[in-house]
Structure 1
Amino acid sequence: MYTLYTDAATNNVTNHSAAGILIVHNGVQQQLRAGLPDSDNHLAEFHAALAGFDALLQLVNGTAQSLTVQYFTDSKIVADSVEKRYAKHYQELVDQLLAKQAQFNLVITQWVPEKQNQGAHHLAQQALHEHD
């Protein structure tokens, strides 16, 4: 099983956004940072989730269909949208995220409070400071 944590950080003045991605497998962590398109925080959270699943798909290199992923996000809108398979203003991104998740055998998405997502949060903050 792979565990994936994502978080986004957005500078509300410049709208610069960045993602923190933490992948854990067999006790080994992979920490990634990525710049995201300029946006508001909700949009950035969807882009962070997409970047996280892109990174995970690249890491597992063709073996995704046999894998289970436990996915954690502190974004209620991302977690709720995946569960409902719908988001009024973000449907295109929800569809993209669901398509990436469908490449795995099973994805369990769970919302967690920010304090339980500190690894991805700190990576997102670092990436944002690098971007600004």
Structure 2
Amino acid sequence: MIKLYTDAATKGNPGISTAGILIIKNGKQYQYAINLPNSSNHTAEFLAAITGFQYVDNLFSNTETLMFFCDSKIVIESIDKNYSKNFQKMLSELINLQKKFPLVISKWIPEKENKGAHFLATQKLRNSL
């Protein structure tokens, strides 16, 4: 099983945006902090999730269950409903990436349980200012 945690950090609306991506497989952690295009926080959260799935897809074969954890309610609710009024294009891209895996379980978690990805995103944002 692979666990994927993503989070975004944004300064301004829209503004400088970054993503934290934490992937855990067999007890090994893969940590990424990346710059995103200037965007709103919701857009950045979708971009962080998309990028996280792209990283998992590039790192591993897609034969395992993937647990996806995110502290953005709009991302998780959009996945659950397979609909987003304002982010449909990014949601479609995210769902297409998820279809590469035999099973993806997406779960909203509070920010306090997403510390690894949150730390990576906020640290990258501080360094980008």
Same fold (TM over 0.5): yes
The answer on whether the counterparts of 2:17 and 2:39 sit within 8 Å (CA) in structure 1 is: yes
Corresponding position: 1:19 with 2:15: no
SS where residue 29 of structure 1 aligns?
strand
Corresponding position: 1:113 with 2:123: no
Give 1:50's aligned residue.
Answer: 50
Q: Distance in 1 between matches of 2:125 and 2:102?
A: 33
Consecutive unaligned residues in structure 2, runs of 5 or more = none
- How many residue pairs align between the two structures? 129
Deviation at 1:126, TM superposition (A): 1.2
Give 1:7's aligned residue.
Answer: 7
Query: Which one-letter code corresponds to 2:2 in the other structure?
Result: Y
The structure with the largest strand share of the pair is 2
Query: Which one-letter code corresponds to 1:7 in the other structure?
Result: D
Deviation at 1:131, TM superposition (A): 2.0
SS where residue 39 of structure 2 aligns?
coil
The answer on whether the counterparts of 2:10 and 2:41 sit within 8 Å (CA) in structure 1 is: yes
Deviation at 1:119, TM superposition (A): 0.4
Normalized against structure 2, the TM-score is what? 0.97
Consecutive unaligned residues in structure 1, runs of 5 or more = none
Give 1:79's aligned residue.
Answer: 76
Deviation at 1:13, TM superposition (A): 6.5
The answer on whether the counterparts of 2:3 and 2:66 sit within 8 Å (CA) in structure 1 is: yes
Give 2:33's aligned residue.
Answer: 33
Query: Which one-letter code corresponds to 2:126 in the other structure?
Result: H
- Percent pairwise identity: 47
Normalized against structure 1, the TM-score is what? 0.95
Query: Which one-letter code corresponds to 2:47 in the other structure?
Result: H
Q: Alignment RMSD, CA only? A: 1.0
Deviation at 1:128, TM superposition (A): 1.1
SS where residue 12 of structure 2 aligns?
coil
Structure 1 window deviating more from structure 2 (12-21 vs 111-120): it is 12-21
Give 2:121's aligned residue.
Answer: 124
Deviant stretches of 4+, over 6 Å: none
Q: Distance in 1 between matches of 2:78 and 2:21?
A: 19
